[in-house]
A and B are shown apart, each in its own frame.
Chain A
């Protein structure tokens, strides 16, 4: 298994798409920092009355979204890249236990997602917090909620594995990316439009709503909006739902490995 893992690690870091994804994530952090710097400089020029209205949403949420999608794409490509080029035949000929190949990919991607997701979140917060400094701008004037920052790791991990599962089951990157987008973007829209209480119930188990609940953050209370579902799941419940999503993607993927490798 360690041989398989080191092989998958080599495969992951020896293709261009991985470097592009790394660059995109770095750019998202830089972009978030630039944005924060702009808001801070605006605050400096404002009258005290105007300052009341200024707020900056959590930039970590933006970089987290980028991380989630980037790792979903990496997860998808980890399998579809091999099917597209035909390399999968060599891979499965070298390791006939196909489940192990999937497991090795999941471990490598998962560890990367966990590390990069957590690091991005912490780094974004640290940079933005340093830029804001002592200015009491809304949403950055509260003490740091470390738990909330740390949930970026598991959330990114979940997206990476869902991507891997979809890519394996569908064998097509275009199809798998469309499916991820549907899960990530279309479902929340559908949920928002459901009759109460189903909007909140379904809304609470959406992919992008799980990380705040994992940290016990009540988004509705934080932003004071009706659109946001309240806290329905306990941290343990949110963790269970995240695990269920991951399994729901990986189990069909494992079953699909039995198909012929043409």
Chain B
């Protein structure tokens, strides 16, 4: 369980995180979403005690991270996969980390097997591809068999097979009852992995909801066409729906497709089209964060002039 409480962090004059509060619960994959520069990495560093917040707190299992005696056994984190000494072998890199938390070499070996690096254990990390470094970073996070895991943009630079591997790994970790927080700037990725979404922009919380809730919230109703449109509109309205005419058809909100079909059948009104129109989560995300995107793409004209 991770709790972020009224967290604020500024670097010089930029406010990176601004009074942010949310909770990450065990047994679920929580997606931590926001455009680039929204404050995701800063929040994760603050949770790990790497950056001292200006105000507010971040707690792991009810206590500040820096008070945990052997933190790798409680929290595993992947921040930046390229943060390794290029001249050291993968095995030695992990062994050095493991020793600091009194984790045995057998755990190192089994974690390397789990992430598929056993064959290159003695190779220098400098020669690793980005995907292999990503696996090495995940191995480091898993070393202490922690109940809380944090991954900062874990699928960056991975091939499709690597992306699927990470997705399944995270689902599996959550399935074990662990707390999993995954940051990303891509909703399409989180949609497939996360159960819950924490969306931030400019350091502030925008949304904290389950994927299902968000999907429902951004339903834009059902498009219905019928030769007896006025009659149908009256019937739907009296059943509690909001009906607005739209391009010769009706946009219906508040009733789902089966209810609309049943109602029309009961009244004997023919239907020519019934199309549910859910906004994709991607669109929902774009709309939610539209105001908080740090670097808006300039239009072609602005660039050309």
A residues near B (Cβ < 8 Å) are 3-4, 6-8, 10-11, 14-17, 81-82, 85-97, 258, 260-262
Contact = CB atoms under 8 A, between A and B. Distances in A.
A3 B49 contact: no
A4 B82 contact: no
Contact of B96 (A11, A16, A96): A11
B71 A96 contact: yes
A157 to B, nearest CB: 23
A224 to B, nearest CB: 48
11 contacts: A3-B102, A10-B95, A86-B82, A87-B84, A90-B79, A92-B48, A94-B100, A96-B71, A261-B45, A261-B51, A262-B45
Contacts of A16: 87
Given A85-B83, A85-B86, A89-B80, A10 B49 contact: no
B52 A260 contact: yes
Contacts of B48: 89, 92-93
A49 B100 CA distance: 65
B89 interface: yes
A90 B99 contact: no
A10 B92 contact: yes
A23 to B, nearest CB: 15
Interface of B: 45, 48-52, 65-68, 71-72, 75, 77, 79-80, 82-89, 92, 95-102, 140
A3 B51 contact: no
Contacts of A258: 52
Contact of B83 (A8, A14, A86, A260): A86
B83 A90 contact: yes
Contacts of B71: 93-96
A26 to B, nearest CB: 20
A262 B88 CA distance: 22
Contact of A7 (B50, B68, B79, B99): B99
Contacts of B77: 93
Nearest to B46: A260
Across chains A and B, which 8 residue pairs bring their CB atoms closest together, nearest first? A86-B83, A7-B99, A96-B66, A14-B92, A260-B51, A261-B50, A7-B100, A3-B102
A15 B50 contact: no
A257 B68 CA distance: 18
A201 B220 CA distance: 85
Given A7-B96, A10-B92, 12 more contacts: A3-B101, A8-B96, A11-B85, A11-B92, A86-B80, A88-B83, A90-B83, A90-B97, A92-B49, A94-B71, A94-B97, A94-B100
A10 B50 contact: no
Given A94-B72, A94-B100, A258-B52, A87 B95 contact: no
